[in-house]
């Protein structure tokens, strides 16, 4: 099975740090890139992938926007998450969210940005991509050094006529 | 519009045998912008209304090739005939008004192919299936749409250009193909785009339901607004609620034209009901859903609230699987790779059943293109499993797993090895093998190992 991969296109590595725990837990291949071309060649790999792109909301820096648009046109099955660290007012946030979705992003995350939200977005989309690729999630194995719990002797089921005090409390 | 049928044109847009003829005789005074393309898609004529619309003089643009190449100008892209028109069938396409503007006004360009009747010297504006030679195409432009201020506000020009490119890419010609299934799909998509009813798209996984939804959006009157695709199976319900109904959510924004719900049956029923209520009341935004099942079946199975079937799947559209439109594979492959594909490779592609549909095809094509850095994609560049399936590669027949034969072969090999080490001395070889010499003899005989000559015994010096 080809391991799922998380491709992150960002400037300073903060998104990779936020998602490091999640990706290590799920054994995802994490690939960071600064170039759009490189990221495109990575997501074309035949394995379930999620592309996380840091978006700069400046008109003179359209590279991330172009990448989102290209990724959607050429690899529509790769979900793209647009992440920005720029805090916006409500009107601007709605405008940018709509525009990013229109370009092909599957979700857009703006500040206030928390790790659980980003993890939920990425893990959900990765699970969806993995399902689409026809791969079932591996069953988590218990650690080998962890001793198996001893089988407990089953407590005899109480007879019907035994009055359970806890039940009495419930019925009161 | 009424047009007098002209006499058959020559290859340069003029009728044969009438050197002074020009298209101006027909269209010069028309208030509708009209242009004429030759059979090589070069601009041969445009009337003053066209000049006024484009702010260009005909003399400056005469001979311009109008095609959808990557480096074509926005004007050439807007005037480029559709594949349907090039195939000789009248067609209409909505194009962003050049130069690269986002949103309205748009150009509705009607292409009327011109062909000469093989039986006689009569020139016809084709209305039926084309059988005759194509001489050129007459295009009529209608400007449609009123500017929506909300659409362009706060969005930088670079974003607007990308949205334009997106809109151009997701035209009906993206779905067009040679097969009957594709033609039916395009016709249904055009109809869905012309009405405002909610659409339920059903199709096998990977068949391109979201692409169809995008094409409907970019062909409809809501194209100047945003398309929002939501993966209901991939996003947790609270994320969907936050996106649509949260503080400053998209649900109440006037920027959204179409909301596409991918597998709406995957969200909890309370959220389904909320979505259904919202989109039943909301008239400005259109809902398009995509699923593997018909809405009625999903409701019957209990995975979907009835409101989706009642009010939100007015128009059901089926996307055919790739195996039903194998004739389209050459066209899809050329579009995806922008490279030529060897006919032998195409034959292999056509032989596959494509259970994962378009998704699988695009993966295979990209992998094959990566295997061949330059030049056409050949049969050898296709994945091994496809070539095996097409009978091009012989799979090795499975070896027999006879235990006795394997054990005899191992025993024979070990005995030969021991004899070699012992310099053909059978006593030493038997010791090395840990057996009696008599047993070694029996095994040599049974396994057919020739008995090697014994080395001379060293003489004892008395």
Chain A hits for B210, CB-CB cut-off 8 Å, are 76
Is B307 within 8 Å of B313 (Cβ atoms)? no
Predicted pLDDT at B89? 85
Distance from CA of A139 to the nearest CA of B (A): 20
Is residue B10 very low, low, confident or very high in pLDDT (cuts 50, 70, 90)? very low
Dist CA B30 CA B52 (whole Å): 12
Q: Please give the full DSSP string across B363-399, using - where no structure is assigned.
A: HHHHHHHHH-SSSPBPGGGS-HHHHHHTT-SPPPPPP
Q: Give the N- to C-terminal CA distance of chain A in Å, as an integer.
A: 56
Question: Which range among A30-39, A91-100, B2-11, B54-63 shows the weakest confidence by mean pLDDT?
Answer: B2-11
B243 with A107: Cβ contact below 8 A: yes
Question: Average model confidence (pLDDT) for chain A?
Answer: 78
- Whether A141 is covered by a domain: the verdict is no
- Whether B262 is covered by a domain: the verdict is yes
Burial (CB < 10 A; 0-12, 13-18, 19+), residue B298, is buried
Residues 6 or more apart whose Cβ sits within 8 Å of residue A14 = A85
- Per-residue pLDDT tens over the stretch B398-416: 666 788 888 999 999 999 9
> ω into residue A112 within 30 of 0, thus cis?
yes
Predicted pLDDT at B9? 46
CA-closest candidate to residue B36, choices B55, B11, B53, B70:
B11
Dist CA B130 CA B86 (whole Å): 10
Predicted pLDDT at B395? 60
Cα B76 from chain centroid (whole Å): 24
- Whether B398 is covered by a domain: the verdict is no
- Whether residues B369 and B238 share a domain: the answer is no
Q: How many CB atoms lie within 10 A of CB B432?
A: 17
Could you say which of A62, A102, A121 has the minimum Cβ distance to residue B239?
Answer: A121
Percent of chain B with pLDDT over 90: 23
Pairing type for strands B226-231 and B256-262 reads parallel
Percent of chain A with pLDDT over 70: 76
CATH code at position A38: 3.40.50.2300
A65 with B250: Cβ contact below 8 A: no
Residues 6 or more apart whose Cβ sits within 8 Å of residue B276 = B305, B307, B308, B311, B312
Token pair in block for residue B130: 């084309």
Q: Kindly report the CA angle at B176 between B174 and B182, in degrees rounded to 5?
A: 125
- Whether B177 is covered by a domain: the verdict is yes
Could you say which of A72, A98, A131 has the minimum Cβ distance to residue B253?
Answer: A98
- Whether residues B227 and B131 share a domain: the answer is no
Which residue of A96, A101, A121 to mutate against B (max B Cβ within 10 Å)?
A: A101
Could you say which of B166, B235, B366 has the minimum Cβ distance to residue A103?
Answer: B166
CATH code at position B311: 3.40.50.300
Question: CA distances (Å), B181 to each of B125, B209, B319, in order?
Answer: 26, 15, 9
Tell me chain B's radius of gyration from C-alpha atoms.
35
CATH code at position B101: 3.30.450.20
Percent of chain B with pLDDT over 70: 83
Q: Does B1 score more than 80 pLDDT?
A: no
Tell me the count of A-B CB pairs closer than 8 A: 105
Dist CA A63 CA A65 (whole Å): 5
Question: Which range among B148-152, B373-377, B426-430 shows the weakest confidence by mean pLDDT?
Answer: B148-152
Give the helix ranges, DSSP H, for A104-147. 115-132
Q: Please give the full DSSP string across B122-166, using - where no structure is assigned.
A: -EEE--S---SEEEEEEEEEEEE----HHHHTT--HHHHHHHHHH
Dist CA A74 CA A44 (whole Å): 9
Q: Characterise B106 by phi-psi region: left (phi > 0), alpha (psi -120 to 50), beta (else).
A: beta
Question: Which range among A87-91, B19-23, B305-309 shows the weakest confidence by mean pLDDT?
Answer: B19-23
Q: Does B313 score more than 90 pLDDT?
A: no
Distance from CA of A16 to the nearest CA of B (A): 20
- Per-residue pLDDT tens over the stretch B316-359: 999 999 988 888 888 888 888 878 888 888 888 888 888 888 88
Asked if A116 reaches chain B (Cβ–Cβ under 8 Å), the answer is: no
- Whether residues B127 and B216 share a domain: the answer is no
A98 with B256: Cβ contact below 8 A: yes
Q: Does B396 score more than 70 pLDDT?
A: no
| Torsion angle defined by CA atoms of residues B78, B211, B238 and A43, in that order, rounded to the nearest 10 degrees | -100
- Whether residues B257 and B377 share a domain: the answer is no
Give the helix ranges, DSSP H, for A12-62. 14-26, 36-43
A69 with B162: Cβ contact below 8 A: yes
3-state helix, strand, coil in chain A (%, to 5): 40, 15, 45
B253 with A46: Cβ contact below 8 A: no
Dist CA B282 CA B314 (whole Å): 15
- Whether residues B53 and B138 share a domain: the answer is yes
- Whether residues B129 and B183 share a domain: the answer is no
Q: Where is pLDDT greater, at A68 or B368?
A: A68
Q: Does B15 score more than 60 pLDDT?
A: no
Q: Does B41 score more than 80 pLDDT?
A: yes
Q: Kindly report the CA angle at B121 between B118 and B124, in degrees rounded to 5?
A: 75
- Whether B308 is covered by a domain: the verdict is yes
Q: Does A61 score more than 80 pLDDT?
A: no
- Whether residues B379 and B408 share a domain: the answer is no
- Whether residues B306 and B345 share a domain: the answer is no
Tell me chain A's radius of gyration from C-alpha atoms.
23
- Whether A51 is covered by a domain: the verdict is yes
Locus of tokens 């309205």: B104
Q: Does A67 score more than 80 pLDDT?
A: yes
- Whether A170 is covered by a domain: the verdict is no
Q: Which residue of A has its CA nearest to B258?
A: A102
- Whether residues B239 and B377 share a domain: the answer is no
CA-closest candidate to residue B419, choices B411, B408, B430, B409:
B430
Could you say which of B154, B158, B239 has the minimum Cβ distance to residue A62?
Answer: B158
Question: Which range among B14-28, B103-117, B192-206, B290-304 shows the weakest confidence by mean pLDDT?
Answer: B14-28
Strand locations in A34-164 (E): 49-54, 80-83, 107-109
Q: Which residue of B has its CA nearest to A123?
A: B234
- Whether residues B195 and B262 share a domain: the answer is yes
Percent of chain A with pLDDT over 90: 35
Predicted pLDDT at B259? 93
- Per-residue pLDDT tens over the stretch A85-142: 888 888 888 888 999 999 999 999 998 888 999 999 999 999 998 888 765 544 444 4
Chain A hits for B228, CB-CB cut-off 8 Å, are 98, 101-102
Range of the domain at B343: 323-389
Which residue of B158, B161, B234 to mutate against A (max A Cβ within 10 Å)?
A: B234
- Per-residue pLDDT tens over the stretch A28-52: 999 998 888 888 888 877 778 899 9
Cα A71 from chain centroid (whole Å): 18
Asked if A2 reaches chain B (Cβ–Cβ under 8 Å), the answer is: no
Dist CA B47 CA B328 (whole Å): 37
Q: Which residues of B touch A (CB under 8 A)?
A: 153-159, 162-163, 165-166, 169, 205-206, 210-211, 225-229, 231, 233-236, 239, 243, 247-250, 253, 255-256, 336, 356, 359, 362-363, 366-367, 370
Distance from CA of B178 to the nearest CA of A (A): 22
- Whether B411 is covered by a domain: the verdict is yes
Is residue B168 very low, low, confident or very high in pLDDT (cuts 50, 70, 90)? confident
Burial (CB < 10 A; 0-12, 13-18, 19+), residue B324, is middle
Q: How many CB atoms lie within 10 A of CB B176?
A: 20
Range of the domain at A122: 5-132
Is residue B366 very low, low, confident or very high in pLDDT (cuts 50, 70, 90)? confident
B162 with A65: Cβ contact below 8 A: yes
- Whether A49 is covered by a domain: the verdict is yes
Predicted pLDDT at B236? 93
H helices then E strands: how many in chain A? 6, 5
Chain A hits for B356, CB-CB cut-off 8 Å, are 134
A128 with B231: Cβ contact below 8 A: yes
Token pair in block for residue B54: 């484009």
Question: Which range among A77-86, B60-69, B91-100, B126-135 shows the weakest confidence by mean pLDDT?
Answer: B126-135
Q: Average pLDDT in the B148-157 region? A: 53
Domains of chain B: total: 4
Chain A hits for B171, CB-CB cut-off 8 Å, are none
A107 with B165: Cβ contact below 8 A: no
- Per-residue pLDDT tens over the stretch B422-437: 888 888 999 999 999 8
- Whether A163 is covered by a domain: the verdict is no
CA-closest candidate to residue B53, choices B34, B73, B77, B33:
B33
> Rounded to two decimals, what is the model's pTM?
0.63
Question: Which range among B143-152, B180-189, B428-437 shows the weakest confidence by mean pLDDT?
Answer: B143-152
Question: Average model confidence (pLDDT) for chain B?
Answer: 81
Is A71 within 8 Å of B167 (Cβ atoms)? no
Token pair in block for residue A67: 């990448």
Predicted pLDDT at A15? 92
B233 with A121: Cβ contact below 8 A: no
Domains of chain A: total: 1
The SS3 call for residue B356 is coil
| Torsion angle defined by CA atoms of residues B192, B196, B202 and B206, in that order, rounded to the nearest 10 degrees | 80
Is residue B116 very low, low, confident or very high in pLDDT (cuts 50, 70, 90)? low
Predicted pLDDT at B3? 44
Which residue of B70, B151, B159, B212 to mutate against A (max A Cβ within 10 Å)?
A: B159
């Amino acid at each position: 099975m080809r391991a799922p991969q998380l491709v992150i296109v960002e400037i300073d590595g903060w998104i990779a740090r936020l998602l490091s725990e999640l990706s290590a837990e799920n054994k995802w291949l994490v690939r960071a890139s600064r170039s759009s071309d490189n990221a495109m060649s990575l997501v074309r790999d035949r394995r379930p992938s999620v592309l996380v792109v840091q978006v700069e909301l400046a008109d003179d820096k359209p590279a991330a926007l172009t990448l989102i648009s290209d990724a959607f046109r050429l690899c529509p099955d790769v979900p793209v998450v647009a992440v920005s660290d720029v805090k916006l007012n409500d009107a601007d946030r709605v405008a940018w969210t709509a525009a990013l979705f229109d370009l092909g992003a599957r979700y857009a995350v703006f500040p206030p940005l928390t790790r659980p939200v980003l993890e939920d977005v990425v893990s959900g989309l990765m699970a969806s991509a993995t399902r689409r690729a026809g791969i079932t999630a591996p069953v988590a194995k218990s650690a080998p050094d962890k001793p198996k719990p001893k089988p407990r002797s089953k407590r005899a089921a109480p007879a019907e006529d035994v009055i359970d005090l806890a039940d009495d409390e419930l019925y009161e | 519009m009424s047009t007098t049928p002209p006499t058959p044109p020559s290859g340069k847009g003029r009728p044969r045998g009438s050197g002074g003829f020009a298209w101006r005789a027909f269209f010069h005074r028309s208030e509708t912008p009209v242009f004429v393309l030759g059979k090589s898609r070069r601009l041969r004529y445009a009337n003053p209304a066209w000049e006024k619309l484009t702010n260009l003089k005909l003399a400056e643009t005469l001979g311009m090739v109008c095609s959808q190449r990557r480096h074509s100008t926005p004007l050439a892209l807007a005037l480029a005939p559709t594949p349907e028109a090039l195939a000789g069938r009248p067609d209409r396409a909505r194009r962003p008004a050049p130069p690269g503007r986002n949103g309205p006004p748009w150009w509705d360009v009607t292409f009327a192919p011109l062909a000469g009747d093989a039986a006689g010297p009569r020139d016809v504006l084709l209305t039926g299936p084309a059988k005759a030679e194509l001489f050129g195409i007459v295009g009529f432009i209608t400007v449609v749409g009123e500017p929506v201020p909300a659409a362009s506000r706060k969005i930088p020009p670079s974003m607007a250009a990308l949205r334009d490119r997106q809109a151009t890419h997701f035209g009906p010609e993206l779905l067009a193909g040679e097969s009957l299934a594709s033609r039916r799909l395009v016709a249904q998509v055009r109809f869905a785009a012309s009405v405002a009813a909610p659409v339920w798209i059903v199709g096998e996984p990977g068949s391109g339901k979201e692409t169809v939804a995008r094409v409907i959006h970019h062909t409809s009157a809501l194209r100047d607004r945003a398309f929002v695709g939501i993966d209901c199976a991939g996003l947790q319900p609270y994320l969907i609620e936050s996106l649509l109904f949260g503080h400053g959510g998209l649900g109440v924004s006037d920027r959204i034209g179409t909301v596409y719900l991918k597998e709406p049956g995957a969200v909890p029923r309370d959220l389904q009901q909320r979505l259904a209520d919202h989109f039943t009341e909301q008239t400005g935004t259109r809902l398009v859903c995509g699923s593997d099942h018909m809405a009625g079946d999903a409701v019957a199975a209990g995975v979907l609230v009835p409101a989706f079937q009642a009010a939100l799947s007015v128009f059901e559209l089926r996307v055919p699987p790739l195996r039903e439109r194998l004739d389209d594979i050459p066209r899809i492959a050329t579009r995806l790779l922008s490279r030529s594909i060897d006919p032998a490779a195409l034959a292999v592609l056509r032989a596959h059943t494509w259970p994962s549909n378009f998704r699988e095809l695009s993966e295979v094509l990209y992998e094959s293109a990566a295997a061949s850095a330059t030049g056409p994609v050949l049969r050898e560049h296709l994945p091994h499993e496809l070539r095996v399936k097409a009978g091009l590669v012989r799979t090795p027949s499975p070896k027999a797993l006879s235990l006795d034969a394997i054990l005899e072969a191992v025993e024979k090999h070990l005995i030969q090895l021991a004899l070699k080490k012992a310099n053909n001395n059978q006593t030493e070889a038997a010791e090395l093998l840990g057996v009696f010499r008599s047993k070694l003899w029996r095994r040599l005989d049974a396994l057919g190992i020739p008995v090697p000559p014994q080395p001379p015994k060293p003489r004892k010096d008395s």
